[in-house]
Structure 1
């Protein structure tokens, strides 16, 4: 089972991100993330067999509701546009602590919500200015995180919640 751990933004935030995507369509071409798939990945686990073991470890995480702030549109290597987020680092650290066997390939954690995957694109900052979607001053309260299964299909990934873990 291909799995990852995420925080899913509420529908009103997904709606705002879909509006950002509409503005991006004026200047960018590619595969736009479907709003129902929008999420903040805390940890990608890959193929796992012992789902119950993972669930038991994740159930030990205790956290209080906290605020996540959406910041600005950025990009990875001119191929992926995303909305940056702040405020998830302590939960990411808690997940890492209970699942140390899953390494992050020495890639610095850059919390984000993917908006668009595209071919190599130049003049990104100039195009973002034309779209007028640099910054999105939105926040939401995080009260849960999920263990999700990701199934790859020819139409894109399908994400299903395996288990939700609530704040207390």
Structure 2
């Protein structure tokens, strides 16, 4: 089972992310990420056996995530994989959350890679040119209080993400 930990935006914010993805797609091309798959990855866990997924679900279900606020206010581009993303400021809480989760996961015997963490929401994949300066301004606030353990399943239309467990609110 291919798993990751993520923050999943509420429906209205996810809809706004989708609108930004549409605008970016018009300018940059590439493959647009489906609205249902828009999220912030906190830790990629890779392939895990079913019993490990159950252990991780129990672990996360008992965890309380400190509420935080993230201001998304900029566009970004990872050249190598051709990813266009939005990210922002006020990342200190996210970085602390990710570090705490990584330490807990390593205690459970799971090595979280990559070690470097750039909080972002991937909107497009396989983009060959960086985002144009004519992209719309980004100014969104995301209040978060729960993390999800998510199953990534490949389909003929791309990956389908299914939350398996949530942290306590």
**Global fold match (TM > 0.5):** yes
CA distance in 2, matches of 1:149, 1:142: 20
What is the rounded CA distance, in whole Å, between the counterparts of 1:21 and 1:91 in structure 2?
Answer: 26
Aligned residue in 1 for 2:150: 148
Question: For each residue in 1:108-166, what CA deviation from the matched residue of structure 2 results, as whole angstroms up to 9, or x when unmatched?
Answer: 10111100012432xx25x1x12234xx2211211211001110112000011110112
Cα-to-partner distance string for 1:84-104 (whole Å, 9 max, x where unaligned): 143411221221121013334
- Give 1:52 deviation, angstroms: 2.4
Candidates 110, 124, 128, aligned match of 1:120: 128
Q: What stretches of structure 2 of length at least 5 have no aligned partner?
A: none
* Aligned length, in residue pairs: 161
Residue deviations 1:64-90 (CA, integer Å, cap 9, x gap): 322122131101116110111434112
Give the equivalent residue in structure 1 for 2:105: 99
Aligned with residue 84 of structure 2, among 81, 84, 92: 81
Secondary structure, in 3 states, of the residue corresponding to 1:166? coil
- Matches of 1:132 and 1:161, distance apart in 2: 30
Q: Aligned Cα RMSD in Å?
A: 1.9
Contact 1:149 1:160 in 2 (8 A): yes
Alpha-carbon distance, 1:60 to partner:
5.1
In the alignment, is residue 69 of structure 1 matched against residue 77 of structure 2?
no
> For 2:96, which of 90, 93, 96 is the aligned residue?
90
Deviation at 1:105, TM superposition (A): 3.6
- Structure 1: 5+ residue runs without aligned partners? none
- Supply the distance in 1 between the matched residues of 2:25 and 2:65 (Cα, whole angstroms): 38
Instruction: Identify the residue that residue 41 of structure 1 maps to in structure 2.
Output: 41
Q: TM-score, normalised by structure 2?
A: 0.85
**Among 102, 116, 121, which residue is 1:108 paired with?**
116
1:132 matches 2:136: yes
- In structure 2, relative to structure 1, the CA distance for the partners of 1:160 and 1:105 (3 Å cut) is closer
